[in-house]
Amino acid sequence: MSCDTTFPFSIEAMKKAVQANKYQIWYLPIVASNTTRPCPSIIGHDEGDLPDLGSPPWYCFKDYPQIEVCARCYGTEVRVAQAEELFTPITRDLIPGRIRQCFLAPSQNPTSTSANPMDYENTTAYRGQYLRNAISYCSSTANKDFTPALRVASKIASLPPPCGSELRTFKSSSKRKWFGHQASNPRDPNDATIIMCEECHSFAVKNTPLEQFLSADLTKLAYSSSPDGHRCATWSKTCKFRLRAACETRDFKAYAQFHHRREETYDRLLRSMGELEPLRDLMDQHAAKREGRMPPGQSVQLDMEQYDAKSLPGLNLVMWEMASYERLSAETARREELQQEFLNEWKSIDNVA
C-alpha cells in the first residue's frame, strides 16, 4: 500500500482537480499509473510485440501522428494537463519491426527547461521534457491555450526519428535509414566505416565541409552487417561531438582513429565477458554442490555446446572444470577485475556513467 499523492504528478493533479472541481483529473492519472506499464521511453516497443503486452492504446498528436505517446504518459501527463483534445488514439495497423518510442518520456532531470538535446541523457528524453514543459505551461494559463505546445510539437515532428542510443537496435523491418561513409579498407587506421542514424547524421554531418563524404546511403549495409539489429555507430554524445568537430575541421582521420580505439576496447570487453561466463557457470555449480542443491551423482560440468563458440585460446575449459574451487574462484576474481577495467576504459571513451 502506498500513499496516492506520492507519484511525481499527483500533487499537481490534486491541485488541478481542486481548481477545476473535477475529481477525475486526479483520480484517472492515479489509476493509469497503477494499471499501465512504465514508459518504455527510448527503448520503446516493437509494434509486433504490442498485442502480447496487452497494453492499452497509445496516443499521437492529432496534427502530428509521428509524435507517439505511451499509455502511461498519456494517462498521467496529458490527463493532468487536461490536454486530451490535442491527442487521438493510434488505430493504424501495427507494423512488426517498427519501434514505437514514447515522445513524452520523462527525463532524468524533470525540472530542466533546456531546449538543447545535448543537455539530456538522450534525445528521446529531450523530446519528452520539451513537450511536457510546453503542455504543462499551456495548461497553467488562464484560458488553457495550447497553441504554443502545438508549435513545439510541430518542431519535434520535423526532426528525424530519435537515435536508439546504446539502448536500442533496429532491424530492417523498422524501416530506419542509415547514412555515413564506407571505408575501402576497414582496417585502415586512418579510415573507418561509420553507419549512423538520420538524427546523428543531421547533428554531426549536415551543413559541414564533410557532408558529401559522410552522406552515403548505407541502409542496406547496416542491415546486412547486423541482421539482428543495427546500433547507431555514433550513439554517445562524445561520438557526436567528436564527429562534428572532425567534420567542421575536415579531419575525418582524427575521428577514424578514435572510432578504431573505441571499437577495439568494446571488442576486448565483449571477449572478456565471453571468457568469464563459463567460469561463473562453474562457480554457480560449485555453490549448488556445497549447498546440496545439485542432484546426487552429478558433477561440476559445462555444457560444451553452449560454450565451444565462446571458448578462446588460453582458456581451457576442461581444466577449469577439474580445478579446485579455490583456484577457480581466484581465476574468476582476476577476470572479473580485468573485465571491470575494460568496462571503465570503454565508459571513459564514451564518457558515460
Residues 253 and 190 sit within 8 Å (Cβ to Cβ): yes
DSSP character at residue 130? H
- Of the two residues 8 and 189, which places its CB atom closer to Zn ion in the complex? 8
Relative to beta strand 87-89, strand 194-197 is unpaired
> Hey, which residues between 68 and 87 contact Zn ion (CB under 5 A)?
70, 73
> Hey, which residues between 266 and 305 contact Zn ion (CB under 5 A)?
none
Residue from 86, 135, 153, 232 binding Zn ion (CB under 5 A): 232
**39 interacts with Zn ion by CB under 5 A:** yes
Q: Which stretch binds Zn ion (CB under 5 A): 33-41, 148-156, 292-300, 339-347?
A: 33-41
Q: How far is the CB of 198 from Zn ion (least distance, A)?
A: 8
Coil, strand or helix at 88 = strand
Reference 192, options 137, 264, 125; nearest CA is: 264
Q: The C-alpha cell of 225 is what? A: 552487417
**192 interacts with Zn ion by CB under 5 A:** no
Alpha carbon distance 330, 341 (integer Å): 17
Coil, strand or helix at 319 = helix
> Hey, which residues between 90 and 109 contact Zn ion (CB under 5 A)?
102, 105
- Of the two residues 232 and 243, which places its CB atom closer to Zn ion in the complex? 232
Q: How far is the CB of 62 from Zn ion (least distance, A)?
A: 18
Strand partners, 69: 59
Looking at 141-251, list the stretches that DSSP marks H as alpha helix, in order from N- to C-terminal side. Answer: 147-157, 198-204, 219-225, 237-248
Q: How far is the CB of 139 from Zn ion (least distance, A)?
A: 17
Residue from 138, 200, 205, 349 binding Zn ion (CB under 5 A): 200
**42 interacts with Zn ion by CB under 5 A:** no
Interface with Zn ion (CB under 5 A): 39, 70, 73, 102, 105, 163, 197, 200, 232
